[in-house]
Structure 1
């Protein structure tokens, strides 16, 4: 994990967290048609199957990420977003590794995710690939979509 990044559970009530979620959703709608946006809003992220974290560098919110329990053995990475000011500094990798570690602690055997296919998502795709994720078919109710890339990784 990168030095100086603190990842902690987040109850989604803080203004900084809410603003980053709003920016995340706005970015998804700028790059994909509405039917292809699978990012969750604050209410969606409060679902009991989801654990949500925020990453902080000092007093600054650097990023967010969540783990959704699909079932006892499978989890889904949700709402990964790094604040623009902190991109390229290892925040996304730290959050992803935290999610992987928690999934393992919970006894999950695999992680899954959906990310975008447009060029804006290539850095995210590369991050996931560098952490052992491979492309796969749609999962858990997702449909084939030209704006989506589906990935999985065994734990």
Structure 2
């Protein structure tokens, strides 16, 4: 049994906020850390840690969403949202793996660079360019997928649930 309800509210509705914030934040941090060693120096172990929390949050949210899917009316919008949600995990696994690799290469480079001669780098420009391109691909892919999932979830939730015109004020 997973976390299905929290204080009487479907857990998916709460967990989704973690995914919507952390996955794009992780993607942005990864891209910046891969491209700019000074940013990676400041992030350090926080980059793979953030990616790990993002990775853990996706199956938690997906499982809670599957429970919610069984407790709402079935319609094509809900099915589309669930299908898109199932496609996020590979992107977030990619974010985690690339984040861990960028961190590891930075740590390896930092250990082998003499402290006195600060700007010499053993992980040259080609490696940083490759890491940045990979980070961009995975980061943008994950961000776009989060957007697609969120858009489909909003449509599934709000279709026919509001009026385009305001109700007159009472009283």
Assess same fold via TM > 0.5: no
- The structure richer in strand per residue is 1
TM bracket, shorter-chain basis: under 0.3
- The structure richer in helix per residue is 2
TM-score by length of 2: 0.25
